[in-house]
Amino acid sequence: MATNSHRARRLAGVVRVGSCFCAGSCCATVLFALVGRFGLGFTPGPPVSFRGAGLYRRGPGRAERHCVTETSPPELDAAVRAGGSVLLDVYAVWCGPCKLLEPALRKLAGRLSSGEFDEPGIPSPQVLRLDSDRHTTKATALGVEGLPTVIFFKHGVETGRFEGSVSLSQLEDAAAAALGMVELLDDTGLATEVSSLEELELTVQMEDVLMLGVLGSGKWEQDSAALDGTLQILRRQLGGQMQVLTLDASSLPGVAESLQLGDLPAVVIFQDGQKVMHLEGRDAAAANVDDLQDVLEDVVNGMD
């Protein structure tokens, strides 16, 4: 795995659940659930109580601004229990990075309120803000250590979090990863379409290094969706510098057998037309962007 400083240089901002990212401003550690932290330093809030020295005015009362809603602990608990997607911004009026995050929050909230991301049987996605000065006990209970802290919830549980100010695209990547909203991603490195095994083989032969995601349906659908989201984020970060191809095994009969895959979904990396590594099943679904970038980096370095 790459060192923290290496990752800081390499990653502009965001990876999926199960990994870490560092936002590129005065923020600190960024983390998602399922992993430990790695410290890149962060801007902490005021001591324990999250209060300043009485020199700052309090924030506005409960109000809805551009679909971002000021919330209280009881309202937050109710929203989380309801099971829908919740993005919570824990902030303070005196916090500079908190103010920097506000435009991205408003824009994302506007998109989430469009109805595009509504799911049957659960409430529509919400973007909420919790004033850490007014609700110190709740902020502490949430494990908030630096400001701003953005926490994602879905189906009543926390699915990810990060600390610090990020850009809109980084916020969208984080939400896509934590809430399963791959539609938020602007896929800038479109994968090549292949319609036959021969065409796939030709594509593999044409690339120095190629990463292929083979997705499945039915019993593999959930794990395949997780891998697909990871590959979309990776493709976006690479910006077309390297080919990341995804295909559905059901649309290309025989592909799993041809690649000698025992389970789906799968990630296969080719170098100079030869398969050099692969992950299958839950291992592939659990792979995060850091993991896959490390592998790609090792392959590329081995070519030098």
**Per-residue pLDDT reduced to its tens digit, 166-207:** 877 788 888 888 888 877 765 544 444 567 888 888 788 878
Task: Determine the 3-state secondary structure of 243 from DSSP.
Answer: strand
* Residue 304 binned pLDDT confidence (cut-offs 50, 70, 90): low
Quote the pLDDT of residue 87. 98
Pair of tokens at residue 152: 């994602």
* Residue 244 binned pLDDT confidence (cut-offs 50, 70, 90): confident
Lowest mean pLDDT among 45-49, 223-227, 284-288: 45-49
Quote the pLDDT of residue 72. 98
User: Which fold would CATH assign to domain 197-303?
Assistant: Glutaredoxin (3.40.30)
Residues in the chain, overall count: 304
Query: Based on C-alpha coordinates, what's the Rg of the chain?
Result: 21
Quick one: average pLDDT of 113-132?
92
User: What single string gives the DSSP state of each residue in 156-214?
Assistant: TEEEEEEES---HHHHHHHHHHHH--GGG----SPPPP--SHHHHHHHHHH-SEEEEEE
Asked if residue 125 has pLDDT above 90, the reply is yes
- CA gap 144, 153 in Å, rounded: 15
Quote the pLDDT of residue 174. 86
Residue ranges covered by each domain of the chain: 42-184, 197-303
Q: Which of 6-10, 78-82, 174-178, 253-257 has the highest mean pLDDT?
A: 78-82
CATH 3.40.30.10 for domain 42-184, yes or no, is: yes
Tell which wins on pLDDT, 275 or 187: 275
Q: Are 249 and 268 in contact (CB under 8 A)?
A: no
Closest CA to 288 of 158, 143, 174: 174
Percent of the chain with pLDDT over 90: 40
Asked if residue 147 has pLDDT above 50, the reply is yes
Quick one: average pLDDT of 242-254?
87
Q: What is the pLDDT of residues 22-39, one digit of tens each?
A: 333 333 323 333 233 223
| 42-184 and 197-303 in the same fold | yes
Mean predicted lDDT score pLDDT of the chain? 76
Quote the pLDDT of residue 199. 80
- CA gap 99, 94 in Å, rounded: 9
Quick one: average pLDDT of 268-296?
92
Pair of tokens at residue 62: 């409960």
User: Which residue carries 């592909």 as its tokens?
Assistant: 255
Asked if residue 260 has pLDDT above 90, the reply is yes
Sheet holding 209-215, edge to edge: 243-248, 209-215, 266-271, 274-280
Quote the pLDDT of residue 245. 87
Quote the pLDDT of residue 116. 83
Q: Are 76 and 88 in contact (CB under 8 A)?
A: yes
Closest CA to 253 of 277, 221, 217: 217
Quick one: average pLDDT of 124-131?
97
Query: What single-letter DSSP state applies at residue 20?
Result: B
* Cα–chain center distance at 62: 29
Beta strand pairing call for 68-70 and 126-131 = parallel
Catalytic residues: 95, 98
24: Cβ–Cβ under 8 A, 6 or more apart, which residues?
12, 13, 166, 167
Lowest mean pLDDT among 5-9, 196-200, 256-260: 5-9
Quote the pLDDT of residue 194. 66
